[in-house]
Amino acid sequence: MNSQREFVAALLDPERDCPAQLTTWNGSDPAVRFAVYRNNVLSSLVDALAASFPVVQQLLGEAFFRAMAALYVRQSPPRTRILAEYGADFADFIEAFAPASSLPYLADVARLERLRVRAYHAADVAPLASETLTAALAAPDRLRDLLLQLQPALGLLDSSFAVVSLWAAHQGSLQIADVDPHQAQSALVLRNGLQVEVIGIHQSDSLFIQALQAGLTLGHAAEQAHALNDAFDLGTCLAHLLRAGAITHSAYNHQRQLP
């Protein structure tokens, strides 16, 4: 076990010597072979981060991004063999990374991109049939007690910055010169088929959806959203979630699930 820890430590720290117990089958210098292996591991993990955070890389430039990502890799090596899960706390690292402080929105852009990765790999759950929800909404006396379950692929981000517009600009949907990065935005991230969508929503809509995710009834979730914004439109928000296939189950509080 000590030799394994020594190997991992040396693999991620270029200042450490090659582990003394390493040998090669053909008699070549173990230190040279280990240096190649160390470089390949580091490069592969940086590549994985670049694939998960392409807009962050575009905002920083490739050279800056790869230098920053290499520091992250050495500080936070993978804890699972599933590379799609790597970088879960990369946004927190960026937020504390002083050389990137001139881009205060960068960490939230990373959080948005992490939500996209999570959405893409989330479990598949069939959406609720529209007629089922329509039938439930047709009983206004029971509407307050309705519970809605949402797709596991759905994610939300409330940011002090224009993360949706920044992301869209790097997809060619907006001109980056037209984006005010300091405008607060809320993002809804979900998967529709195999396509991951990033949608700008009102903060009250975000609060409503978060309340549903927390298990609150439709009535209580709507009350919270209305308290934040009198203009919150429950019907429009529900229609959008239904069209996106974001609602998977419905039930009345403390009673059986609707068919």
Range of weakest confidence among 79-83, 96-100, 154-158: 79-83
Max CA-CA distance within the chain?
A: 81
Q: What is the pLDDT of residue 258?
A: 43
Question: Within its chain, how far is the Cα of 30 from the centroid?
Answer: 40
Burial of 206 (0-12, 13-18, 19+ CB in 10 A): buried
Boundaries of every domain in the chain: 1-103, 123-259
Whether the pLDDT of residue 256 is over 50: the answer is no
3-class SS of residue 48: helix
Alpha-carbon distance of 186 to 205, in angstroms, equals 9
Axis crossing angle, helix 203-213 with helix 218-228, rounded to the nearest 10: 150
Whether the pLDDT of residue 8 is over 90: the answer is no
Topology given in CATH for the domain delimited by 123-259: Enolase-like; domain 1 (3.30.390)
Question: What band does 257 get if pLDDT is binned at 50, 70 and 90?
Answer: very low
Alpha-carbon distance of 129 to 168, in angstroms, equals 30
| pLDDT one-digit tens code per residue, 83-142 | 889 999 999 999 999 999 999 999 999 999 999 999 999 998 988 888 887 787 777 778
Question: What band does 243 get if pLDDT is binned at 50, 70 and 90?
Answer: confident
Place of tokens 């089922």: 132
Q: What is the pLDDT of residue 82?
A: 87
Whether the pLDDT of residue 197 is over 60: the answer is yes
Give the single-character DSSP code of 145: G
Q: Provide the mean pLDDT of the chain.
A: 87
Tell me what the mean pLDDT of segment 71-92 comes to: 91
Q: What is the pLDDT of residue 105?
A: 97
